[in-house]
Structure 1
Amino acid sequence: MFIEQAYTKKFDIIKYLPIPIVFLFLMLLNYVAIVVMDIDVDTLMQQQIALKGANEVLFESLLPLAIFLVILLLWVKFVNKQSIRSLTTARAKVDWSRIFTAFGIWAVFSVATTAMAYFSTPESFEINFRPVPFAILACISIIMIPMQTSFEEYLFRGYLMQGIGIATRSKLTALIVTSLMFGLMHIANPEIEKMGYILLLYYIGTGLLLGIITLMDDGVELALGFHAANNLIAALLVTSDWTALQTDSILKDKSEPSAGFDILLPLIIIYPILLLIFSRIYKWTNWKEKLTGRVHLKPLNEITINQIGEGHE
């Protein structure tokens, strides 16, 4: 239902292409420039932070994605002639309780696991808290990070999930393609340079998780909450010199990163448990159909009318 509701008789896949093409081209151009010019992303970021300060660098890195969010929503409304509600959920209205539930669950988990890591290996961390920079960080993060994560969710789990699903008539194709695109979008992140391309498995796996909960729940609300919590807690709680979010957070991780079990743990244990929790809370059923079924290309109003008619026969 979530994918199908974007389809109308005036559906035109060409209208879906400009924003994804422009955004992904810019991401690719950034990566190519880094490779061709042999840019050390981590060193470059450290130089920028030394020159401008961590908060200004964070704001400048988030601003383009916030702008893209506004452009995407305006494009959906005025070019695709689709409501923001239908881009968000198959329900009659956006379920904010789902957003806050997912946010709360993942925020609590992130804080708890960080606390466990800190108390088990305190030598791997240092206290980085400074009241004024942290207060500025909090203001920037609370406003800008949800806009950044919302853009990524609306683009991949909303706009492209619906567009690819309708174009291919396959939910599974939409799920796989958007997950791969989401993972590869992070290829220029500093942590990829530090830990290697194997880290892309984590990003692709995270995209797969978010795609699954979107299809199973018929909306992006849970994905919006999860993604916002993940990035916001990371920005406020713990930073390091080798991640994309280098901030004036409470803690600084001094440990040497390694691409090993830390990558597999979320993918094979934590994410499946999270799926189980959501499935119990929201009573998900019919997994096979929702994740791998065909997309029926019939305008939603016709489906509804036909179903009502069949019910009276």
Structure 2
Amino acid sequence: MYIEQAKKLKSHPILFFILPAGFIFLMIVNTIMSAGIDTNEVIKNAIDTIGVNATFVMVIAPLSIALFIVLFWAKFIQGQSLTSLTTSRQKIDWKRVLFSFSIWAGITIVMILVSYWASPENFVWNFNSEKFFVFLVLALLLIPLQTSFEEYLFRGHLMQGLGLVTNNRLIPLLVTSILFGLMHIGNPEVGKVGYIIMVYYIGTGLFLGVITLMDEGLELALGFHAANNLVGALLLTADWTAFQTHSILKDVSEPSAGFEIVLPIFVIFPMLLFLFAKVYKWNNWKERLTGSLQEISE
């Protein structure tokens, strides 16, 4: 009943699409303006000029601040509570957020350790206590806001709006997953690895959309996304990623699109779906993912 929360609102359905359309427009303009520009070189120049931490803040702060725009819009323009934008439950289930965060944080740590053990020559020790702990504070403050913005905009605000106007679940799932993936098309990783990495971005969006619809709320997606960006930024960086940080390790290998894409999308994500389904007793998959919206009482 998560998407159906939108039916309780008295505001015009078009209000669901103004913020996503504005954000997508800005992404398109940014992509056009940066055509032919080496994003890695831009980030490197910024780091040389203002430092790693300041560059990190410059990159992430706009998206972190944008979360408050989404929440303000939902609350004061549409008259929607934070709870109904987040979940179909009576209150936000923070245990779900923590469970998902813990599971994916643990998996991320294990994958990085296995990669380090298998190919230590691909990594260098990057830890500097003074710089790391300053970055740690910045990351803890900003990354959960940035990931929450993306979740609330795509799998909250936009998914509910698309469900409302199409009276369908599959269309919101597919559209938000594709748009979420395309949002990352300007990342330096794309320029370095190639467009094949979009399979990972869109596949991740699809996974987050599935757990949102099956669990009837954003809590699992919020926890997963925060863990993915936060733990990754703290443990590992590279000269070709969007987040170049004072992390513990630095990847100095030549990036490639292969194992890193196949393992999460085709192995780990299905296993996580199985785990979540068992823990939260999911059923009726076809109806929840592709069915029509249900009628709800006001």
Offset at 1:9? 6.4
Q: Which residue of 2 aligns with 1:182?
A: 180
TM-score scaled to structure 2, two decimals? 0.98
- Can you give the 5+ residue segments of structure 2 that lack an aligned partner in the other structure? none
Q: 2:240, 2:197 → 1: CA distance?
A: 13
Deviations 1:167-204 (A, max 9, x none): 11110000000000000000000000001111111000
Query: CA shift at 1:259, angstroms?
Result: 1.3
Give the secondary-structure state (helix, strand or coil) at the position aligned to 1:7: helix
Counterpart Cα distance in 1 of 2:265 and 2:239: 24
Q: Please name the residue that 2:61 is paired with.
A: 63
Equivalent of 2:168, from 160, 167, 170? 170
TM-score by length of 1: 0.93
| 1:276 lines up with 2:274 in the alignment | yes
Q: Per-residue deviation at 1:8? A: 3.1
- State the alpha-carbon separation in 2 of the partners of residues 9 and 223 from structure 1: 23
- Measure how far apart 1:161 and its partner are: 0.7
Partner of 2:264: 266
Aligned pairs for 1:7-86 (under 5 A) are: 7-8=7-8, 10-35=10-35, 38-86=36-84
Matching residue of 1:87: 85
Stretches (4+) displaced over 4 A: none
Query: Which residue of 2 is the match for residue 306 of structure 1?
Result: none
Give yes or no for the alignment of 1:216 onto 2:214: yes
Asked if the contact 2:9/2:79 (under 8 Å) is kept, the reply is no
Query: What is the CA–CA distance in structure 2 between the aligned matches of 1:149 and 1:301, rounded to whole Å?
Result: 32
- Quick check: 1:301 aligned with 2:275? no
Shift in Å at residue 16 of structure 1?
1.4
Identity %: 52
CA distance in 2, matches of 1:7, 1:212: 21
The one-letter code matched in structure 1 to 2:245 is T
How far is the alpha carbon of 1:19 from its aligned partner? 1.1
Structure 1 counterpart of 2:224: 226
Q: Is the 8 A contact 2:9 2:78 kept in 1?
A: no
Larger mean CA deviation between 214-223 and 22-31 belongs to 22-31
> Post-superposition shift, 1:262?
2.0
Matched letter for residue 28 of structure 2: L
1:104-253 map, 5 Å: 104-253=102-251
Question: What is the rounded CA distance, in whole Å, between the counterparts of 2:197 and 2:118 in structure 1?
Answer: 24
Question: 1:261: how far off?
Answer: 2.9
Q: Matched residues in 1 for 2:259 and 2:110: separation?
A: 19
Tell me how far 1:23 sits from its aligned partner: 1.1
Q: Quote the Cα distance in structure 2 between the aligned partners of 1:264 and 1:222.
A: 22
Paired with 1:11 and 1:50, the residues of 2 have a C-alpha distance of 48
- CA deviation profile, 1:228-278 (whole Å, cap 9, x unmatched): 000001110000001111101000001101112321221111110011111
For residues 158 and 147 of structure 2, the distance between their equivalents in structure 1, rounded to whole angstroms, comes to 15
* 1:45-103 per-position Cα deviation (integer Å, ceiling 9, x unaligned): 11111111111111111111111100110100011111110000000100000000000
Structure 1, unaligned runs of 5 or more: 303-313
Distance 1:17 1:187 in 2: 21
- Using the alignment, how far apart are the partners of 1:136 and 1:177 within structure 2? 38
Classify the secondary structure of the residue corresponding to 2:250: strand
2:153 partner letter:
L
Q: Which amino acid aligns with 2:5?
A: Q
Tell me, in whole angstroms, the C-alpha distance in 1 between the residues paired with 2:274 and 2:39.
38
Classify 1:138/1:101 alpha carbon distance in 2 versus 1 (closer, same or farther; 3 Å): same
